[in-house]
Amino acid sequence: MITVKDIEHLATLSRVKLTDEDKESLAMEFDAILGYIDRLKKLEVKIDAEGRVGAVKNAMRPDEAAPRSPAERERLLAAAPDREGDYIAVKKIIAQD
């Protein structure tokens, strides 16, 4: 049984603001969804999987900065909601008391 309090905790962890109405309906939907996926717990499983899909392997590359053109850098910076020169601007994260 998932409570509104559980949903609030998950929303805090996920950094999502929810309305009270959303919390109520999400709690109900969670019960239905978890009721479905909880059936997996009945299956006999040896848990030692590598979690690998097909022949996909880790591909490494040298830890070097790749050269980027100024135009490309400008396009990426231009997407930021707030910037100062070549920096992306955010609010202060350390408060002064």
Partner 1 sequence: MNIDLKKLTIATAAAHLKAGDFTAVELTQAYLDLVAAKNREVNAYLEVFTDAITQARAADAVIKDGRQGPLTGIPCAIKDNILIQGRLASAASRMLQNYRAAYDATVIAKLKEAGVVFLGRTNMDEFAMGGSTENSAFGLTKNPHDLSRVAGGSSGGSAAAVAMDGALFALGTDTGGSIRQPASFCGVVGLKPTYGAVSRYGAIAMGSSLDQIGPLAKTVADAELVFKAIRGRDAFDSTTIDENTYNEPYAEHRTSKTAGRKPRVIGVPRHFLKDGVDAAVLGSFEAALASFERKGYEIQEIALPNISAALMVYYIIMPAEVSSNMARYDGVKYGLHIDGKDGIDDYFETRGAGFGREVIRRILLGTYVLSSGYYDAYYNRANAVRKMITDEFHKAFESVDVIATPTAPGPAFKIGEKTTDPVAMYLEDIFTVTANITGMPAISLPCGTVVREGAGLPIGLQLTAGHGHEQRLFDIGRDFLNEE
Q: Does 1 bind partner 1 (CB under 8 A)?
A: no
Q: How far apart are CA 87 and CA 83, in angstroms?
A: 6
Q: Does 93 bind partner 1 (CB under 8 A)?
A: yes
Please give the DSSP secondary-structure letter assigned to residue 86. T
Site string for partner 1, 3-42 (x = CB under 8 A): ----x--xx-xxxxxx---x---x--xx-xx--xx-xxx-
**Taking the complex as a whole, how short is the minimal distance between the CB of residue 93 and partner 1, in angstroms?**
5
Residues 56-85 that bind partner 1 (CB under 8 A): 56, 58-59, 61, 72, 75-76, 78-82
Q: Which of 51, 8, 7 is nearest to 29 (CA)?
A: 7
Task: Return the half-sphere exposure (C-beta side, CA atoms, 13 A cut-off) of residue 28.
Answer: 5
d(CA 15, CA 68): 32
Name the phi and psi angles at 55, rounded to 5.
Answer: -95, 20
Interface positions with partner 1 (CB under 8 A): 7, 10-11, 13-18, 22, 26, 29-30, 32-33, 36-37, 39-41, 43, 45-56, 58-59, 61, 72, 75-76, 78-82, 88, 90-93, 95
